[in-house]
């Protein structure tokens, strides 16, 4: 999956390929290599701190990037395909904060 960096330009940083591992403690760690012996952890996202998660362009059939809003940062991630998006959505959404669930329920009803 690709992750947008925190660049200083108006549009933010570039999308860079990273390798993600989701742990049961609701942390999403990302690495710079897929090979464990070569990988160094580049950072982590506290999924249970996210107050919202949504696709950037929900109707687009080619752009499956999404934003995970955590206080202090909006994480822009791009799984690259509809299938990968569905898998990440199914894995991440149950781990979001209760506030995110309330926002999603209100949007669905309204």
Task: Name the token pair of 19.
Answer: 């390798």
Q: Are 68 and 4 in contact (CB under 8 A)?
A: no
Express each pLDDT in 70-92 by its tens digit: 999 999 999 999 999 999 999 99
How many separate helices (H) and strands (E) can be counted in the chain?
2, 8
Sign of the four-CA dihedral 8, 56, 78, 97? positive
pLDDT beyond 80 at 35: no
Query: pLDDT of 55-65, one tens digit each?
Result: 999 999 999 99
> Measuring CA to CA, which residue among 73, 76, 80, 82 is closest to residue 56?
76
Whole-prediction pTM: 0.82
Which structural domains are found in the chain, ordered by start? 2-109 (2.30.29.30)
């Amino acid at each position: 999956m690709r992750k947008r960096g925190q660049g200083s330009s108006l549009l933010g940083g570039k999308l860079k390929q990273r390798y993600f591992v989701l742990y049961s403690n609701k942390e999403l760690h990302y690495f710079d290599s897929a090979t464990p012996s070569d990988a160094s952890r580049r950072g982590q996202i506290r999924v249970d701190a996210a107050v919202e998660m949504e696709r950037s362009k929900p109707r687009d059939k080619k752009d499956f990037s999404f934003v995970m809003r955590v206080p202090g940062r909006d994480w822009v991630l791009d799984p690259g395909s509809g299938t990968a998006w569905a898998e990440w959505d199914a894995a991440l959404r149950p781990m979001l904060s209760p506030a995110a669930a309330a926002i999603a329920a209100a949007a669905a009803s309204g």
